[in-house]
Amino acid sequence: MTMPFAEYPHYDATALAGLIRKGEVSAADVLESAVLQAERLNPALNAIITPLYDHARLQLHRADKNAPFYGVPFLLKDLLSQLEGTPYSAGSRALQGYISRHTTTLVQRFEQSGLLIMGKTNTPELGLMGTTEPKAFGATHNPWRQGYSTGGSSGGSAAAVAAGIVPLASGGDGGGSIRIPASACGLFGLKPSRARTPCGPDYGEAWDGAAVEHVITRSVRDSAAILDLSNGMDGGAAHPVGHTHYSSSLENPVRKLRIALCTNSPLGTPVNKHVVHALQQTAQLLKELGHEVEEACPEIRGADIARAYLHMYFGHMAADLTHIGKMVGKPWHKLPVELTTHTLARFGFALSAGDYVLMKHTWNQLARAMARFHQQYDLYLTPVMATLPLPHGSFEHSWLDNLSMHLVNALHLHGLALKTSIIEDMAYKSLEKLPFTQLANLTGQPAMSVPLFCSHDNLPIGSQLIAPMGDELTLLQLARQLEEACPWAQRLPAVR
């Protein structure tokens, strides 16, 4: 039986797997429907940078037909997640031509669940930017509006899911990189707790534990089901995290929650009025569902978040470029990377180990402050982004910033700059459009973006909810309640 092409994009992964399991449609027909969708839509989106259609066709015959997601088409974000024998770029020209020599643990779990990997998605270079516009592969377009950003760094995955190419795709979140694209593209995005999903064999902790991988989905049940199959430590993991099940509790009513609402940017920078209005609508909906919502913000300084986060960038860009240089056999400073990436690495090499460790103490201070806050509030409600989805180029540095980076690099002034206000200025400029998501990465808490409302001109706006460390279940149960009260799957983007 051939599945009607028009119907394929309207099913989530759970429904597609059910149709295949019942024999109502063949897995081969589902995969070919996904390939047709990709060939039709990707030229306009630039979401998929490495098609792996033949790999998926071969995988279809090797996969366990009893696996829970057997036959469901899937895409990998081309960062952190590696698949042996396929190109791996991390969004950078520096890795052009590199072929992965192994499959990472999480990808193995995706494959074991029956998902068919049919391609890899676009990402900013090394996941650094909150928009998916890498020089190596070009910009990914938002399905809701051509020429607009999908957010980053999982922007290619979000665009493909929103457009209906696949029902879900992998993502990684080191500073909002699942939640920001989910918000920009009208999808559900959950960042699990630190170490909830494995990052082996390459890392014990990705970005010192700030980064964690999961998926971007259209439905809450798909996110919960994939987390059921993928969570839990692997051999040699840095943290002893046990395997946990979520789907079985998803239908249980969520308890009455006390939720703190804060729409103010932690940096004191502007927040778009449509974003504020959407958060107020979310708060009202939560009240109507029986929860208690009041305005309150934790006792944390946005400047501490920004500086700690930027210093993490410095250290890891120095380490990452050194590692990439070894992978491709080049000195790090001769790698063809973007100016921002190169400059951040230079700052990393100028940063002392002692200063990095001192800045890492800030992470713990933030985590302790949030633990105190959650003694009073079950969840913390904020925007995901301070803006609506923006046109491409909105995250480009000014000519003056580019000139400054060139001068600092040429004159080797990175050590001196670390002692001035330049770093704080960089942090504010970098994060003013996206100031809300980095907190949960530094503290390790689970957080989600829920696509409840849109702007007056139909651009998606996500609402972020942050839970105490380890409490994904409350987030998922509440998300399910919100999904039933305000269904979002019926809102379709222009490109589909």
The number of CA neighbours under 13 Å toward the Cβ of 339 is 14
Among the listed ranges 25-34, 246-255, 372-381, 391-400, which one has the minimum average pLDDT value? 391-400
216/319 Cα distance (integer angstroms):
28
Read off the pLDDT band of 429 (50, 70, 90): confident
Tell me the three state secondary structure of residue 87.
strand
Residue 427 has pLDDT above 80, yes or no: no
Q: Which residue has the higher pLDDT, 38 or 413?
A: 38
Among the listed ranges 23-37, 224-238, 407-421, 444-458, which one has the minimum average pLDDT value? 407-421
Instruction: Give the start-to-end residue ranges of the domains of the chain.
Output: 8-255+475-485, 302-376+396-431
Which CATH number is 8-255+475-485's, of 3.90.180.10, 3.90.1300.10, 3.40.190.10, 3.30.1330.10? 3.90.1300.10
Dihedral sign of CA atoms 404, 405, 410, 411 in order: positive
246/176 Cα distance (integer angstroms):
22
Q: What share of the chain is helix, strand, coil (3-state, %, to 5)?
A: 45, 15, 45
290/219 Cα distance (integer angstroms):
23
Which residue has tokens 């057997």? 70
pLDDT, the chain, mean = 95
- Mean pLDDT across the stretch 288-303? 97
DSSP 133: -
Residue 2 has pLDDT above 80, yes or no: no
Supply the residues annotated as catalytic.
77, 153, 177
Residue 94 has pLDDT above 60, yes or no: yes
Which letter, b or e, does each residue of 193-228 get, where b requires 16 or more Cβ atoms within 10 Å of its Cβ?
A: bbbbbbbbeebebbbbbbbbbbbbbbbbbbbbbbbb
CA distances from 343 to 139, 246, 406, 411 (A): 22, 42, 8, 12
Read off the pLDDT band of 494 (50, 70, 90): confident
Angle of helix 302-328 relative to helix 422-431, nearest 10 degrees? 90
- Mean pLDDT across the stretch 343-357? 94
Backbone φ/ψ region at 164: left (φ over 0), alpha (ψ -120 to 50), beta: left
Give which of 293, 284, 250 is closest to 479, Cα–Cα. 250
- The pLDDT score that the predictor gives to residue 71 is 97
